[in-house]
């Protein structure tokens, strides 16, 4: 056996060669991708298992809330979650080497009535989830009845109701409830998530070590001080929590022991015995080898999600966290490299079993039944700035090639010192076409954290939360996707006197808005009267300030509601400095606190303003009034103008054309200026992001026609990329021009991250030449401080074929935005948006 | 043939494609010139054949006569050459050629349904675009590829442009059929780092039947290029029914081995694919291979692999299927 473990090495010792190719654009369309037959078998089983909902968590929690009503909220929450962890059924599934569920069976979503319950019953009554074309759930009558039975208790007690009661008319008008200028509701109907636990600490101390720290802190309190009384409450909640944790993990150990005794197959029997001892040990103890470590890491993360269903609970930097265990086991001969490879693949399958039910409105635009945001990073530099790439970095990438499922959401950190062999591995996996992994550029990512005051060591240790949001693992509670601003809608208000372009008596707000002689927003001028482009820019700036104030005031209300109603005693065990400060993570216990709302529709907004500048002010081909009239008519009767604004005669963002690119910078900087560094209720600062995930489709539905040649209701541009309309794509000059345009933006200013979606036809990246050119393209983009990239490498023809014949393309995994999903499970709206993105093809 | 723009020498260019990756090493900017000395039946760039400007018409992009009509309004012949099928503009050979000296309709057409094939560009204008991607060439050993049509029809301008590239230390590649006067070729090769050329058939008559030209001059020029020490990539577009038999490809192999001493960078066997039909439509021309049905991918892929390994084994040539294999320069 080779007992060498390699780090910072050109010649990794993974089980696959570093330059293994798996094909280009083949995606998941392959039988038995893993060299481990058991993994292939479990993959099939998971894919055949319907998604369901499970009521057990909801029932136990509801009973506990009633029982513990008299306690302070954090203790009540701790007791309720403890009861859940002690009371839910536990199961071990055939072949599993890593155990632990989400307080529900695999592919089953638990229910979180504390956030909201009415919407779920509304779905049961009016839109049965088994009839959904995508995000289908089969919910049994028993579960439905259970949820109905607890609805009366929760009436008026849920977090969403508390927030809604606090909204003023002014806040409602632009919110998700009315005109959707902004979307602020993600954390209103569900938990926050978007966090990475301090796994290095947990794996070093175990839960027992954390318990000891709490007991020491508790012993030092002086209860004559009012502040210490609050801390006492906090520590009490933490200890209650640890009872639940111990019980939950131990119960899996006990079950495994029972199953081992009954097992006939000696190999499986030995495995179950080991699973049993793993669980019984890590229920309190610090893990002693890779297997125990991965078991603890997995189940500790699941408990974060059992506590709150916020998505984007992140798994951290795998190759950094597990390196000491891997190295020890290889060198001592405890476990083989092959076996650890299989364990990683088992862990991926466990992530793939997590489910979160979303409502009908949400799934049209953000499909995929999966939990979402199971981010896991490899590569990059350590606290000292040295490359950490090691055998595990390669093994994690191989694990994706071996499973081809959309979990985890993989990120690769690259920097100037990343080994060439590693890049080859990364791009060979990218070229499979599943959309995994995305790549981060360390330099601007680290700079973005420095811009928000992090010490250099912490900045270098960043992890991408969920989609792409930079955070310090184990120290940041970032509220990373707290809302989004429809930049395009704001632009339309800025050119039409604060009125919606489509303003008419058909609008539900008409009586109190347009019909009452007023308008949705403040009047900052109109294209009918502007005499210079500077006036347009000034108007956009004033509108942006107005709506950013509204976005922040609504997010603040949601933040306060979480502080009051949903303290997180379990998560507080795992995020610094909650235990140190004696403070729950929801009220500012974390070392770093943020709130990160995204700007959506950058490309559409930039192109619209660019068209206005060029046609109305520079070339004077149309008047502002004519352009507005064309928009109001949704371009009908203005077909030549529609063709013109979509044509290459216009300056459009994404073509390495300063005219339009400078306007994109203006749009981005205007949004950032009105968001960045403002205080959040739980401490810390707001920081903007510029990505839409799939929200660009949603935001597009509420925006009427726009000057860039977009018709009413079409999606706005996705993430930080160029726009495409029904008529055509606005980027015409290929990938180098996109790289040059996008990298003109000051990305490190965007503290909450960016996404750039690339779409290549397989032929454009095939062969060694195609691979090396793609690597060079990214090197060039990164040298210009481009921050992130992700890739869709599946031909347009394949996508269209899959739309027609979904049954033959069930395994076609594609990049959606911040994540990958099975194409045939996406809504038609989203499928069309993906097909419409520019495909860079060079036959 | 030398064109002028405002008194300055200029190239007549149909297309500038960035990030091309299959015509020379690395990331490249490829410039397509107008004018060709051959008429290959499988040509996928018909807009580059005529040495003059032409109009291409794309009915699907037309806003419609009744809603727009800007082309008719702009036309000095009151729209006489422009035809509509009731709603959308129609492509026609007559219009493609008759209107090429006027172009007012193309200037006015808002959606580029009337597209100008052939834009005059000076060396300075082209260099500006070429230099935008300089850092990407540097990283990959990429550069500029001149293509056509037959770029050597505009050999004086090509010479000037490549000279400027050489001054900037940009790698230069010329993709040419070499059916041109030898001295034109030699002039341009002064500043050429890599030559990509075709041998479409070894039999002069079959060559003439499918390309409109014999192969004598081409083979002579290839020999001369080898003599000059040029780095050569030789290609054969493998067209079913024309040159896809083992014997026909062996004949090429023999030439490469016996006459060039096998001194080539790579020999690429390219698949025939039915491409560029929409461009024929835009010019109002029929596709020369008409209703020929190309074989399935699995079929031609297998044949190309077979032919490449045959040439490797029998002639010791660096033969590869397709154009994606790395060039060992």
Residues A323-333: tens digit of each pLDDT: 999 999 999 99
Lowest mean pLDDT among A231-240, A466-475, B236-245: B236-245
CA closest to B113 among chain A residues: A643
Q: Is A646 close to B139, i.e. CB distance below 8 A?
A: no
pLDDT at A278 over 90: yes
Length of chain B: 329
Q: What is the mean pLDDT of residues A499-508?
A: 96
Q: How confident is the model at residue A56 (pLDDT cuts 50, 70, 90)?
A: very high
Which one of B22, B68, B194 makes the best mutation probe of the A interface by having the most chain A beta carbons within 10 Å? B22
pLDDT at B277 over 90: no
Q: How far apart are CA A707 and CA A649, in angstroms?
A: 14
**Which among A169, A168, A147 is positioned nearest to A158, based on CA atoms?**
A147
Q: Is B327 close to A769, i.e. CB distance below 8 A?
A: yes
**Which among A374, A400, A389 is positioned nearest to A423, based on CA atoms?**
A389
pLDDT digits (tens, 9 = 90+) for A401-437: 999 999 999 999 999 999 999 999 999 999 999 999 9
Q: What global pTM score does this model have?
A: 0.93
Q: What is the pLDDT at residue A372?
A: 83
Q: What is the mean pLDDT of residues B221-247?
A: 94
Q: What is the mean pLDDT of residues A225-240?
A: 97
pLDDT at A842 over 60: no
For A321-353, b/e burial (b = at least 16 CB within 10 A) is bbbebbbbbbeeeebebeebbbbbbbbbbbbbb
CA closest to A734 among chain B residues: B18
Side by side, the strands of the sheet bearing A592-595 are A313-314, A195-196, A476-477, A592-595, A685-686
Here the tokens at position A515 are 């019909």
**Which among A700, A745, A748 is positioned nearest to A724, based on CA atoms?**
A700
Q: How confident is the model at residue A817 (pLDDT cuts 50, 70, 90)?
A: low
| pLDDT averaged over every residue in chain A | 94
Q: What is the mean pLDDT of residues A498-522?
A: 96
β-bridge mates for residue B20, sequence order:
B28
CATH superfamily of B11-51+122-321: Aldolase class I (3.20.20.70)
Q: What is the mean pLDDT of residues A381-385?
A: 97
Collapsed DSSP state (helix, strand, coil) of residue A183: strand
pLDDT at A822 over 90: no
Bigger pLDDT: A127 vs A710: A710
Catalytic residues of A: 467, 469
pLDDT at A364 over 70: no
Side by side, the strands of the sheet bearing A375-379 are A375-379, A409-414, A438-441, A788-792, A757-759
Collapsed DSSP state (helix, strand, coil) of residue A813: strand
Element (H, E) at B96: helix B93-98
β-bridge mates for residue B117, sequence order:
B54
Chain B environment of A772 (Cβ under 8 Å): 26, 140, 326
Q: How confident is the model at residue A818 (pLDDT cuts 50, 70, 90)?
A: low
Q: What is the mean pLDDT of residues A74-102?
A: 97
- On whether any CB of chain A is under 8 Å from the CB of B60, the answer is no
Q: What is the mean pLDDT of residues A701-725?
A: 96
Q: How far apart are CA A433 and CA A537, in angstroms?
A: 40
Q: How confident is the model at residue A682 (pLDDT cuts 50, 70, 90)?
A: very high
pLDDT at A753 over 60: yes
Q: How close are the terminal C-alpha atoms of chain A, in Å? A: 47
Q: What is the pLDDT at residue A1?
A: 46
Bigger pLDDT: B246 vs B80: B246
Residue B139 near residue A777 (C-beta atoms within 8 A): no
Here the tokens at position B153 are 């029809």
Q: How close are the terminal C-alpha atoms of chain B, in Å? A: 32
Collapsed DSSP state (helix, strand, coil) of residue A633: coil
Lowest mean pLDDT among A114-128, A435-449, A698-712, A738-752: A114-128
Q: How confident is the model at residue A10 (pLDDT cuts 50, 70, 90)?
A: low
CA closest to B320 among chain A residues: A767
pLDDT digits (tens, 9 = 90+) for B47-95: 999 999 988 999 888 988 788 999 999 999 888 888 888 778 888 877 7
Q: How far apart are CA A430 and CA A279, in angstroms?
A: 35
Selected residues 621-650 of chain A with any CB under 8 Å from a CB in chain B: 637, 639-644, 646-649
Q: How far apart are CA A808 and CA A823, in angstroms?
A: 11
Q: What is the mean pLDDT of residues A562-581?
A: 98
- On whether any CB of chain B is under 8 Å from the CB of A23, the answer is no
pLDDT at B137 over 70: yes
Q: How confident is the model at residue A808 (pLDDT cuts 50, 70, 90)?
A: confident
Q: Is A646 close to B136, i.e. CB distance below 8 A?
A: no
Q: What is the mean pLDDT of residues A28-36?
A: 92
- On whether any CB of chain A is under 8 Å from the CB of B112, the answer is yes
Lowest mean pLDDT among A14-28, A681-695, B85-99, B288-302: B85-99
Q: How far apart are CA A659 and CA A667, in angstroms?
A: 13
Q: What is the mean pLDDT of residues A57-73?
A: 98
Q: Is B110 close to A641, i.e. CB distance below 8 A?
A: yes
Q: How far apart are CA A484 and CA A184, in angstroms?
A: 6
pLDDT at A533 over 90: yes
CA closest to B44 among chain A residues: A843
Strands B28-33 and B8-20: antiparallel
Question: Beta strands of chain B (E only): which ranges?
Answer: 3-5, 8-20, 28-33, 54-57, 83-84, 89-90, 114-117, 119-122, 143-147, 171-176, 194-198, 232-238, 266-271, 319-321
Domain residue ranges in chain B: 11-51+122-321, 54-117
**Which among A623, A608, A604 is positioned nearest to A539, based on CA atoms?**
A608
pLDDT at A839 over 70: no
Collapsed DSSP state (helix, strand, coil) of residue A67: helix
Tokens 């192999």 -> residue: B253
Q: How many CB pairs under 8 A join A and B?
A: 97
Q: What is the pLDDT at residue A843?
A: 39
Lowest mean pLDDT among A252-261, A689-698, A805-814: A805-814
Q: What is the mean pLDDT of residues B192-210?
A: 96
Please state, for a pLDDT cut of 90, what percent of chain A lies above it: 83
The predicted complex's ipTM stands at 0.91
Lowest mean pLDDT among A70-79, A127-136, A516-525, B257-266: A127-136
Q: What is the pLDDT at residue A835?
A: 80
Q: What CATH number was assigned to the domain covering residues B54-117?
A: 3.30.70.20
Long-range contacts, A450-459 (Cβ 8 Å, 24+): A451/A748, A451/A749, A451/A751, A452/A592, A452/A594, A452/A677, A452/A685, A452/A687, A452/A751, A454/A592, A457/A383, A457/A384, A458/A383, A458/A592
pLDDT at A128 over 90: no
């Amino acid at each position: 056996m080779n007992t060498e473990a390699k780090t910072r090495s050109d010649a990794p010792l993974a089980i696959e060669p570093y330059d293994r190719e798996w094909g280009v654009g083949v995606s998941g369309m392959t039988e038995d991708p893993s060299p481990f037959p058991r993994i292939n078998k479990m993959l099939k089983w998971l894919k055949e298992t319907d998604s369901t909902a499970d009521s057990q968590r909801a029932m136990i929690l509801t009973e506990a809330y009633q029982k513990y009503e008299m306690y302070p909220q954090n203790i009540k929450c701790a007791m309720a979650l403890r009861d859940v962890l002690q009371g839910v059924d536990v199961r071990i599934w055939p072949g599993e080497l890593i155990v632990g569920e989400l307080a529900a069976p695999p592919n089953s979503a638990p229910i979180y009535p504390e956030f909201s319950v009415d919407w779920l019953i509304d779905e049961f009554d009016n839109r049965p989830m088994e009839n959904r074309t995508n995000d289908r759930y089969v919910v049994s009558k028993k579960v439905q009845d259970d949820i109905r039975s607890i609805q009366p208790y929760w009436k008026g007690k849920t977090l969403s109701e508390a927030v809604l009661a606090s909204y003023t008319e002014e806040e409602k008008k632009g919110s998700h409830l009315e005109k959707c200028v902004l979307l602020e509701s993600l954390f209103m109907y569900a938990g926050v998530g978007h966090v990475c636990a301090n796994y290095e600490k947990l794996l070093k101390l175990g839960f027992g070590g954390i318990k000891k720290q709490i007991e020491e802190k508790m012993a030092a309190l002086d209860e004559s001080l009012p502040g210490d009384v609050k801390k006492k409450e906090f520590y009490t909640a933490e200890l209650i929590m640890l009872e639940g944790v111990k019980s939950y993990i131990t119960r899996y150990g006990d079950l495994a022991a029972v199953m081992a005794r009954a097992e006939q197959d000696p190999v499986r029997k030995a495995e179950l015995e080991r699973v049993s001892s793993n669980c019984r040990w890590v229920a309190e103890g610090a893990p002693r080898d890779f297997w125990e470590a991965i078991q603890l890491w997995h189940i500790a993360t699941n408990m974060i999600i059992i506590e709150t269903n916020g998505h984007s609970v992140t798994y951290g930097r795998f190759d950094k966290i597990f390196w000491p265990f891997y190295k020890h086991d290889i060198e001592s001969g405890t476990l083989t490299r092959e076996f650890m490879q299989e364990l990683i693949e088992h862990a991926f399958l466990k992530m793939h079993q997590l489910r979160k039910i979303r409502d009908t409105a949400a799934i049209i635009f953000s499909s995929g039944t999966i939990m979402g945001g199971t981010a896991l990073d490899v590569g990059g530099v350590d606290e000292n700035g040295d490359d950490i790439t090691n055998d595990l970095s390669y093994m994690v990438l191989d694990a994706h090639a071996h499973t081809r499922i959309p979990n985890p959401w993989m990120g690769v950190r690259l920097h100037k010192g990343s080994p060439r062999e590693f890049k080859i591995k990364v791009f060979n996996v990218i070229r499979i076409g599943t959309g995994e992994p995305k790549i981060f550029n360390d330099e601007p990512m680290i700079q973005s954290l420095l811009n928000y005051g992090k010490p250099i060591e912490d900045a270098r240790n960043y992890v991408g939360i969920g989609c792409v949001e930079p955070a310090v693992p184990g120290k940041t509670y970032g509220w990373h996707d707290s809302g989004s601003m429809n930049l395009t809608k704001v632009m339309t208000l800025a050119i039409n006197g604060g009125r919606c372009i489509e303003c008419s008596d058909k609008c539900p707000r008409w009586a109190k808005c347009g019909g009452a002689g007023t308008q949705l927003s403040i009047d900052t001028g109109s294209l009918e009267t502007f005499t210079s482009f500077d006036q347009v820019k000034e108007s956009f700036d004033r509108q942006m300030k107005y709506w950013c104030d509204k976005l922040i005031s609504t997010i603040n209300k949601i933040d306060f509601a979480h502080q009051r109603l949903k303290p997180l005693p379990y998560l507080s065990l795992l995020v610094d400095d909650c235990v140190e400060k004696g403070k729950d993570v929801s009220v500012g216990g974390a070392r770093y606190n943020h709130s990160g709302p995204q700007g959506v529709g950058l490309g559409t907004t930039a192109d619209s303003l660019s068209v206005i500048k060029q046609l109305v002010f520079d070339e004077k081909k149309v008047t502002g009034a004519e352009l507005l009239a064309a928009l109001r008519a949704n371009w009908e009767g203005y077909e030549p103008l529609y063709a013109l604004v979509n044509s290459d005669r216009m300056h459009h963002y994404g073509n390495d054309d300063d005219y339009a690119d400078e306007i994109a910078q203006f749009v981005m900087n205007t949004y950032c200026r009105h968001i960045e560094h403002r205080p959040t209720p739980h401490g810390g600062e707001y920081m903007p992001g510029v990505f839409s995930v799939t929200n660009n489709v949603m935001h597009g539905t509420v925006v009427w026609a726009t000057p860039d040649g977009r018709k009413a209701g079409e999606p706005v541009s996705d993430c930080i990329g160029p726009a495409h309309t029904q008529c055509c794509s606005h980027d015409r000059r290929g990938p180098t021009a996109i790289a040059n345009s996008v990298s003109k933006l000051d990305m490190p200013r965007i503290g909450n991250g960016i996404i750039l979606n690339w779409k290549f036809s397989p032929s454009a990246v095939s062969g060694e030449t195609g691979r090396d050119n793609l690597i060079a393209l990214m090197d060039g983009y990164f040298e210009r401080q481009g921050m992130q990239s992700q890739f869709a490498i599946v031909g347009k023809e394949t996508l269209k074929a899959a739309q027609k014949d979904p049954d033959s393309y069930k395994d076609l995994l594609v990049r959606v935005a911040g994540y990958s999903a099975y194409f045939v499970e996406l809504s038609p709206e989203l499928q069309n948006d993906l097909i419409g993105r520019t495909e860079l093809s060079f036959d | 043939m030398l064109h002028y723009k405002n008194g300055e020498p200029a190239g007549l260019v149909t297309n500038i494609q960035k990030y091309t990756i299959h015509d020379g090493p690395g990331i490249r900017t490829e410039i397509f010139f107008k004018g060709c000395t051959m008429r290959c039946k499988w040509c996928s760039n018909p807009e580059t054949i005529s040495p003059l400007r032409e109009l291409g018409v794309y009915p699907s992009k037309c806003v419609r006569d009744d809603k727009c009509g800007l082309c008719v309004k702009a036309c000095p012949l009151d729209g006489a050459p422009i035809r509509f099928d009731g709603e959308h503009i129609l492509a026609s050979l007559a219009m493609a050629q008759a209107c090429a000296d006027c172009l007012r309709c193309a200037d006015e057409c808002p959606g580029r349904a009337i597209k100008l094939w052939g834009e005059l560009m000076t060396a300075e204008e082209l260099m500006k675009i070429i230099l935008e991607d300089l850092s990407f060439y540097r990283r990959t050993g990429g550069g500029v590829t001149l293509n056509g049509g037959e770029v050597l029809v505009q050999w004086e301008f090509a010479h000037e442009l490549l000279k400027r590239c050489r001054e900037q230390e940009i790698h230069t590649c010329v993709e040419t059929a070499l059916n041109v006067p030898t001295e034109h070729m030699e002039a341009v090769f002064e500043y050429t780092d890599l030559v990509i050329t075709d041998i479409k058939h070894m039999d002069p008559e079959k060559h003439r039947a499918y390309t409109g030209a014999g192969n004598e001059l081409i083979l002579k020029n290839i020999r001369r290029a080898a003599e000059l020490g040029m780095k050569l990539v030789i290609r054969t577009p493998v067209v079913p029914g024309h040159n896809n038999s083992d014997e026909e490809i062996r004949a090429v192999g023999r030439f490469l081995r016996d006459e060039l001493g096998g001194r080539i960078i790579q020999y690429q066997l390219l698949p025939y694919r039915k491409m560029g039909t929409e461009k024929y439509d835009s010019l109002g021309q029929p596709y020369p291979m008409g209703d020929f049905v190309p074989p399935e991918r699995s079929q031609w892929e297998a044949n190309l692999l077979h032919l490449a390994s045959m040439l490797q084994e029998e002639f010791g040539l660096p033969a590869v299927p397709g154009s994606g294999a790395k060039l060992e320069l």
